[in-house]
Amino acid sequence: MSELFASDINSGNIKTVGLATGSTPLDFYKYVREAQPDCKAITTVNLDEYVGLAADHDQSYSYFMHEHLFNDVAFAKHFLPDGLAKDSAAECARYDEVLAENPIDWQLLGIGGNGHIGFNEPGASFEGTTQRVQLTEETLAANARFFDSIEEVPTEAYSMGIGSILNSKKIVLLAFGEEKAAAIKAMIEGPMTNEVPATALQNHPNVTVFLDEAAASLLTK
Ligand code: F6R
What pLDDT, in 10s, does the model give residues 47-84?
999 999 999 999 999 999 999 999 999 999 999 999 99
56 is catalytic: no
114 is catalytic: yes
Which pLDDT does position 90 carry in this prediction?
Answer: 98
Which pLDDT does position 21 carry in this prediction?
Answer: 97
**Domains along the sequence of the chain with CATH:** 2-211 (3.40.50.1360)
- When pLDDT is cut at 50, 70 and 90, the band that residue 46 belongs to is very high
* Residue 221 reports pLDDT greater than 90: no
Distances (CA, A) of 127 to 103, 124, 184: 16, 9, 21
Distance 121 CA to ligand 1 centre (A): 11
For the stretch 98-133, pLDDT in tens is 999 999 999 999 999 999 999 999 999 999 999 999
* Residue 1 reports pLDDT greater than 90: no
CB atoms within 10 A of CB 7: 10
Do 39 and 73 form a contact (C-beta atoms < 8 A)?
Answer: yes
Distance 119 CA to ligand 1 centre (A): 8
User: In the chain, what percentage of residues exceed pLDDT 70?
Assistant: 100
Distance 174 CA to ligand 1 centre (A): 10
Kindly tell me the sign of the dihedral angle through the C-alpha atoms of 99, 105, 110, 113.
positive
**Set 82, 102, 121, 143: catalytic member:** 121
Which pLDDT does position 7 carry in this prediction?
Answer: 87
- When pLDDT is cut at 50, 70 and 90, the band that residue 198 belongs to is very high
Mean pLDDT of the chain: 96
